[in-house]
Structure 1
Amino acid sequence: MLGLAILAVFAVYLWLTVVLARIATAYVRAYHLPGWIGGGTISLIMFLLVFWDWIPTAVAHHYYCSTRAGLKVYKTLEQWRAENPGVAETLVTTVNPKWVKLPNGSSYALDQRFERRMTERPVFLSVTEHLDAIYDVNSRKGGAVQEPLMVNTDYSSGTGWFPADAYTLHDYKFWLVSRSCAASGDYTNVILQDKFMTKLRAMERQPEPSANEPGGGTR
C-alpha cells in the first residue's frame, strides 16, 4: 500500500510538472522566445525541488566510503594478552548484557573487560558516520580517555530504515538511502570485524548455569 501511495504522489507531481511546463512554454512563446526556455526552466525547478540533494548525497557517501571507511585495529588481541597476562583466562561472557545509552549511541559489556560501543554522527546532509568499536574498559590513554582496540568506521545516507524511520517528508526520499558502504558489494570490513569478534569470544568462558537453570543442579 505504501508503494502505491508513493507512486500516486509521484504521478500527481509529474502531471503538475507537465501542466506547468506547458503553461510556461506558451507564456514565453507569446514573447517570441523558444518554448523550451520556459518549459525547461519549470521542469528543472520542479526536479530540483525534490531531487536537489540526490547527487551531492551520493557523491559525499561515495567519498566517505572511499577515503574514511574501514576497520582499524589499534591493538591486536595477542598484544592485549601479552600486556595483561592471565586476564584472558578469567573472562566470562556477559549474558543478556544491559544496553547503556550514550550521548550519540549505545554500548554494552561483552565481559568484565571488553565493551562494545556503537556511535554515530551526521557529517554532510543526510550522510551519517557510524563507529563500531571495542574497548578495554580498564585501559586509559593519557590518564583519562579509554583507548579502543578496534574501530570499524562505516557510512550511511538517507533514512536509516525506510519506511519505519520516516517521520518527515524528507525521510521519504528513498532514493537517498544507502545503509552501508558494504552496499557496493565490498564486505571486507564486515568479514574482518567478524574475525576479530570471533577471536575475542574464543577467549571467553561461558558462565556457569545457575541452580534454577537446566543443568545447574540444586542447592
Structure 2
Amino acid sequence: MIALLYFVFFFLIYLPISIWVIRKSYQFAKANYQRGWLGGLVAALIMYNLVFWDWIPVILIHKYLCETEGGFWVYKTPEQWVKEHPEVLGQDWGNNFRIEAVRKDFGNRLQRNWFDSSIYKEISQRSEIDFTKTINRREIKIVDANTNEILFKSVNFSRIAPYKLWLSEPSQSEGPGCSKSANNGAVNEFAKMKKLVKGDKK
C-alpha cells in the first residue's frame, strides 16, 4: 500500500508538476532574459529541494559519524577476562539475564542486562541525533561490574525514515565504522565469552 502511494505521488503528481514548472520557467526566462537554461535550472533546484532537501545532508552526516565515531573496540579479550576470573567457570549465562532500565527517556534510553553480578551488557540508544531527526546512535558495551572496566564495545549509526524511502538505510551502512561486522562486534565477543565461561569448546 505504501509503495502504491509513493508511486502515485512521484509519478502521477510530483514528476508531472515538476516538469510543468521547469518548462514554464524555461520559457519565461528565455522570453524575458534570453537565458532559458537558467530559469529551468532554478526551477529544477526548487522542485528538488521541496522533497529531497535532506537527502545529501543526511548521507554526509551519517558517513561522517560512521567514520569518526562508529566502530568496534576490544580492550580486553574474552580469554583474558575469563583467565582473570576463574570463579565464573562452569556457569551457564545463556540468554537468561536481569534487565535494569537505567534511563527510560524516549529517544535516549539506557539499559543494562545483568548475566552475573560481575558483568553486564549495557545498551544505549539515542534517537534523532541530527537536525533532520533521521540518524540514531546505538552503543553496546560489555562491562566488568566490579571495576567498571569496559571489555569491548560497538558504536553504530543507523538511518530510520519510514516515510522517506530515499533516506532508508542500505544493506551496509555508510563507512567501515558502521559495517555489519563492526555493529555486531561486541555481541559476537560476548557470545564467545559465554562459551568460555560455560566450558563449551564448540
Q: Verify same fold: TM over 0.5.
A: yes
Answer 1 or 2: higher relative contact order, Cα 8 Å, separation at least 6.
2
Shift of 1:205: 4.4
CA contact (8 A) 1:26 1:35 kept: yes
What stretches of structure 1 move > 6 A for 4+ residues in a row? none
- Aligned equivalents of 2:43, 2:138: Cα separation in 1: 39
RMSD in angstroms over aligned alpha carbons? 2.9
Is 16-25 or 92-101 further displaced after alignment?
92-101
In the alignment, what sits opposite 1:57? Answer: 58
1:19–1:182: structure 2 CA closer, same or farther, 3 Å change rule? closer
Question: One-letter code of the match for 2:130?
Answer: F
In the alignment, what sits opposite 1:158? Answer: 160
In the alignment, what sits opposite 1:177? Answer: 168
CA contact (8 A) 2:62 2:174 kept: no
Shift of 1:67: 3.3
CA contact (8 A) 2:29 2:35 kept: yes
| 192, 202, 211: which one aligns with 2:195 | 202
- Aligned equivalents of 2:123, 2:53: Cα separation in 1: 31
- Aligned equivalents of 1:31, 1:88: Cα separation in 2: 83
Shift of 1:4: 1.0
- Aligned equivalents of 1:100, 1:8: Cα separation in 2: 46
Shift of 1:136: 2.0
- Could you report, residue by residue, the CA deviation over 1:187-206 in whole angstroms, capped at 9, with x for unpaired residues? 44356445412321114449
- Which structure's residues are more often helix, by fraction? 2
In the alignment, what sits opposite 1:124? Answer: 130
- Aligned equivalents of 1:88, 1:179: Cα separation in 2: 41
| Partner SS state of residue 113, structure 2 | strand
- Which structure's residues are more often strand, by fraction? 2
Shift of 1:6: 0.8
In the alignment, what sits opposite 1:109? Answer: 114
CA contact (8 A) 1:156 1:180 kept: no
Shift of 1:7: 1.1
- Aligned equivalents of 2:28, 2:174: Cα separation in 1: 46
Shift of 1:150: 0.9
CA contact (8 A) 1:156 1:177 kept: no
- Could you report, residue by residue, the CA deviation over 1:137-190 in whole angstroms, capped at 9, with x for unpaired residues? 222xxxxxx33211011121233xxxxxx3xxxxx1122122785577954435
Question: One-letter code of the match for 1:196?
Answer: E
In the alignment, what sits opposite 1:217? Answer: none
1:201–1:157: structure 2 CA closer, same or farther, 3 Å change rule? same
Question: One-letter code of the match for 2:24?
Answer: I
- How many residues are aligned here? 188
- Aligned equivalents of 2:172, 2:152: Cα separation in 1: 18
1:189–1:82: structure 2 CA closer, same or farther, 3 Å change rule? same
Larger radius of gyration: 1
Which runs of no fewer than 5 residues in structure 2 stay unpaired?
Answer: none
Which runs of no fewer than 5 residues in structure 1 stay unpaired?
Answer: 140-145, 160-165, 167-171, 207-219
CA contact (8 A) 1:92 1:204 kept: yes
1:68–1:204: structure 2 CA closer, same or farther, 3 Å change rule? same
| Partner SS state of residue 32, structure 2 | coil
1:96–1:195: structure 2 CA closer, same or farther, 3 Å change rule? closer
Question: One-letter code of the match for 2:116?
Answer: D
